[in-house]
Amino acid sequence: MKHGFLDRYSDLGSFIHKLDPRTKVITTFAFILVVVLTPPPRWQAFALYFALIAGLVLLSKIPPLYVLKRSLVIVPFVLFIAIFIPFLKPGELSGSYNIWIWQISHSGLLILWNVVIKAWLSVLSLILLSATTKFAELLNGLEQLRLPKVMVMILSFMYRYIFVLVDEVIRMKQARDSRSFGGKRTWQLKTIGNMVGTLFLRSYERGERVYGAMVARGFEGQTRTLSRPHFRMADLYFAVVFLICLALVSLSLLI
């Protein structure tokens, strides 16, 4: 079965796609760091951060709607956590609102805004990173940035086998659905439990076989890699311009 949900659009040819993965990783993390460290009341800064990301999305030729949809998938998780904060934080500032029996404090709302906007901007930047970089290149970049090799290998196996596992789950679901005609909820839960168990065992056994295939080709515990391409001038320009923009946005508003 075909899947393309992890690094879809990563084979488009914009100049952002052609940047060295290291440049993109570094600038993405710089962006996230700056966003997270910006004081929440400075909404102008957040607007500018958004404009920056939106500009890059347009430059990268990725359909903006795709980026937006992907980012919305992750927002519910943040909302779920953040939604309780306004109720829990006792009102310190004046002007707290009353909705039915709850007291919503101003400072609580600010924290909610803080969590949601920062998470959303960070997720947007990560979507931009993953949509403009082939996963294999991203791994190379992380490795060159001295991420421990074990971590790189784990990520690489995750990327390779997530599709295989998804296929396996789809097949198991089809096999279940073609023999299941409703039944009680507890019974269905039990079936799901069995499926999870089977999936674990199969993955475990696959792990053993994959290790066998690695050992058969001379794997002895350490990974070696070929030398990788170097930074180009475009990388330097992009990184410098991007970081200056970032610094200007965050600093100008401090004054």
Partner 1 sequence: MEKAIEIENLSYSYPDGQQALRDINLAVGLGQTVALIGPNGAGKSTLLLHLNGILRSDGTVRILGVPLEDKNLKWVRSKVGLVFQDPDDQLFSPTVFDDVAFGPINMGYAEEEVRGLVGQALEWVGMKGYEERSPHHLSVGEKKRISIATILSMSPEILVIDEPTANLDPRAKWELIELVAGLPMTKIVASHDLEMVAALCERTIVLDKGKIAADDATSNIMSNTPLLQRHGLAPASGIIEPQYRGPSPNR
Judged by beta carbon, residue 60 or residue 156, the one nearer partner 1 is 156
Crossing angle of helices 135-144/149-177, nearest 10°? 150
* Angle, CA of 213, 217 and 219, to the nearest 5°: 90
Nearer of residues 2 and 179 to partner 1, judged by Cβ: 2
Q: How far is the CB of 4 from partner 1 (least distance, A)?
A: 8
Quick one: which segment of 101-109, 118-126, 142-150, 210-218 binds partner 1 (CB under 8 A)? 210-218
- Which structure tokens are listed for 51? 């404009």
216 binds partner 1 (CB under 8 A): yes
Distance between CA atoms of residues 101 and 151, nearest Å: 49
Q: Which is nearer to partner 1, 146 or 217 (CB)?
A: 217
Q: Considering the complex, what minimum distance in angstroms separates the CB of residue 159 from partner 1?
A: 5
Q: How far apart are CA 123 and CA 131, in angstroms?
A: 12
From 143, 141, 145, 164, select the one nearest 153 (Cα to Cα).
143
| # chain residues binding partner 1, by CB under 8 A | 29
Work out the burial of residue 55: count CB atoms within 10 Å of its CB; fewer than 13 is exposed, 13-18 middle, 19 or more buried.
exposed
Q: What angle do CA 41, 46, 51 make, to 5 degrees?
A: 160
Taking alpha carbons only, the member of 76, 88, 91 closest to residue 123 is 76
Minimum CB distance to partner 1 smaller for 66 or for 161: 161
If the CB atoms of residues 35 and 139 are measured against partner 1, the closer one turns out to be: 139
> Nearest distance from residue 173's CB to partner 1, in Å?
19
Cβ at position 60, least distance to partner 1 in Å: 19
Residue 150 in the binding site for partner 1 (CB under 8 A): no
2 interacts with partner 1 by CB under 8 A: yes
Does 232 bind partner 1 (CB under 8 A)? Our answer is: no
What distance in Å separates the CA atoms of residue 112 and residue 75, rounded to the nearest whole number?
12
State CA 197 to chain mean position distance.
27
Query: 102 in helix, strand or coil?
Result: strand
Q: Provide, rounded to whole angstroms, the least separation between the CB of residue 224 and partner 1.
A: 5
Q: Which is nearer to partner 1, 95 or 218 (CB)?
A: 218
157 binds partner 1 (CB under 8 A): yes
Per-residue b or e along 196-221, where b marks 16 or more CB atoms closer than 10 Å to that residue's CB: eeeeeeeeeeeeeeeeeeeeeeeeee
Angle at 221 between CA 219 and CA 223, to 5 degrees: 75
Q: Does 179 contact partner 1 by CB under 8 A? A: no
Residue 74 Cβ vs partner 1, minimum distance, rounded to whole Å: 23
Smallest distance, partner 1 to C-beta of residue 172, A = 16
- Contact residues toward partner 1 (CB under 8 A) are 2-3, 134-136, 139, 156-157, 159-161, 163-164, 206, 209-210, 212-220, 224-227
